Amino acid sequence: MVFTGTASACSCIPGEGEPQRYARAGYVFAGVVLSEKLETNKPDTPYDDQYRYTVKVAKEYKGDVPRRVDVVTATNGAMCGTRLTVNTKYLLFTHGDVASGTVSTHMCSGTRLASGGPPNTVPSPTSTTTPPTTPCATAAP
C-alpha cells in the first residue's frame, strides 16, 4: 500500500494581468490597514486560520465600499493567503458581500501596495489585437 498526503499549493492563472484581476474583483479600493487579528479554528471556512484586517478606505475604484471594512485572507500561503502590514496603504482587489462588512482577498486577487498607483484597467495589446493604422504620409493621391 502506498499512502500519499494531499498536496496543496496556491496556483494563480498564468499570464493574468491587473486588468483581468480588476474585472474579476467584486470591489477594488485603496485603504490603510488599521489592525490585524488572527482568527483560529473557524469551522465555517475551508481553512481553519485566517487574518482579519480592518481597513480604512481612502478611495473606491470598483463597487460601493463602506469607509471601514474588514478584509480576510488565509494565513497559509498554500491556501493563497496574503499577509498585509498594519499602517500601510494597499490597493485591494476583493470578493464577497460587502454588506456583511467583510470581504476577502488572496495572493491571486491582485492586492498590492497602493504606491504603485491606481489600478490598471486597460488590457495590454496581444498578438491577436491589431493596433489602429494610419494612412502613409507619402502615399500619392
Q: pLDDT tier at 127 (50, 70, 90 boundaries)?
A: very low
Is 123 inside any structural domain? no
Is 96 inside any structural domain? yes
Is 51 inside any structural domain? yes
Is 99 inside any structural domain? yes
Give the tens place of pLDDT for each residue, 32-48.
999 999 988 766 655 57
Side-chain half-sphere of 60: how many Cα atoms within 13 Å? Answer: 11
CATH number of 107's domain: 2.40.50.120
Is 141 inside any structural domain? no
Is 58 inside any structural domain? yes
pTM, entire model:
0.78
Report the phi/psi class of residue 15: left, alpha or beta, with left for phi > 0 and alpha for psi in -120 to 50: left
Helix ranges, the chain (H): 18-24
Is 107 inside any structural domain? yes
Q: CA-to-CA distance for 3 and 78, rounded, in angstroms?
A: 21
Is 53 inside any structural domain? yes
Give the tens place of pLDDT for each residue, 94-121.
999 999 999 999 999 999 999 999 999 9
**24 phi/psi in degrees, rounded to 5:** -80, -25
Is the pLDDT confidence value at 131 over 60? no
Q: What is the pLDDT of residue 32?
A: 98
The domain of 57 spans 27-113
- Total structural domains in the chain? 1
Give mean pLDDT, residues 49-77.
94
